Every structure is written in structure tokens, then in C-alpha cells.
Structure 1
């Protein structure tokens, strides 16, 4: 009974189910570190940042910036230089309203540049 309860609690609170945005990769050789207003502070080699996923601490939707912790310091980064999962901005589009050109298009639940459709 205890093992079952412990297992259910661990599944309930697992990070993958909570779907907190995580920085999975840095895109490009140099990553620009920004201040909270989007001003450039410095450039950092992405190879020096490691390969461990980083949790997104905050997302500033107005400036399109994400805050993460690098080397014990909270910094802001441009999400275009990062691979974030799950994505911060998903465009909700119903697939049936999108134009199709080939018979195979209606079987593929994606649109170029917009991600998945909300069916």
C-alpha cells in the first residue's frame, strides 16, 4: 500500500507532467546575455554553458525574454537562441480552417512555422 501511494505521488509531481518550460539546448555558438529590458550585457560561448536542461524562471511576454539561472546568477536570454520545451508561445489554429493543397496535407497535423493545430 505504501509503495503504491508513494509511486502515485511521485508520478503526480514529476517534472514532466507539470510541463514547466525547460531550456533544452542553446542554438548557435554564442548566446547573448541580456538585462531585464533587453539590453545586451555580454556574449557567452554556448559550449561553456553545459548541456543540462535549465528551468525557465520567468517569461516576459512583452519583451519576449526568458529568465534562467546561469552559474548561480539570474540572467535574461532571447528565446530565439534557445530550444524551449514545451514552447512558450503556441499558436492555436484549427486544422479544418487551414487551406490544404495536397491530399496528404490533411493527414499531417502541422503547419509550416506555426506548430501543431488545435483539434
Structure 2
């Protein structure tokens, strides 16, 4: 009875976590946010040389290129991790995780079955 109650609690937690993952998957980034972010980054990168040219001189182009690469890279990473579920290279390996969990549960069931048989055999003898 204790194991069934514990199993039911774990199943409830699993269902709650599944619901959380589905909410993450089905909640898209608002289009206005994405457009505004790209416009803001573009304006920043276009105005940055005007701010640093007195200080950096000839290095302005190189430094602005490095900063722009970094800022647009972070924005691209944000878009990539917006949807972590699927079969792209950067998505979570859910199939491998689920297979590992399945094998662990099968091992536990087998071990408990063998232990129960051993206990029954020792009681019978």
C-alpha cells in the first residue's frame, strides 16, 4: 500500500512537470518583442561607433564589430533556446533521457522481483 501511494505521488509530480514543459513549448515569444529587440540592437550597433570613435580612433571598426557580433550572438542564442523540445542539434535529448529512465525502472523492477522470489524461497525453506 505504501509503495502504491508513493507511486501515485510520483506520477502526479510527473504529470505536473509534463504540463510545465507543454506550457514552455506552446508559449511563443511575442512577435512585437522579437521585432523590437532586433531594432534596438541594430540602433545600438549603428550608434556605438559615434560614441567610441574619439576614444578608440582606428580601432573603432574592429571593436564595434566585436561588440555587434557578441550582442547579435546572444540574441540568436535566445531564439535558439526558446524552443528546447524537438530533434534539432541544440534541442534536449529527450529520447535518450526517457530511454535511460525506462532502463532504470526495468532494472529496479527486475531487482525487486528477484529479491521477492529470494525472500519467498527462503520463507518456503
Report the TM range for the smaller structure's normalisation. Answer: under 0.3
* Greater radius of gyration (CA): 2
From the two aligned structures, give the one with the greater helix fraction.
Answer: 2
More strand by share: 1
TM-score normalized by structure 1?
Answer: 0.25
TM-score, normalised by the number of residues in structure 2: 0.24
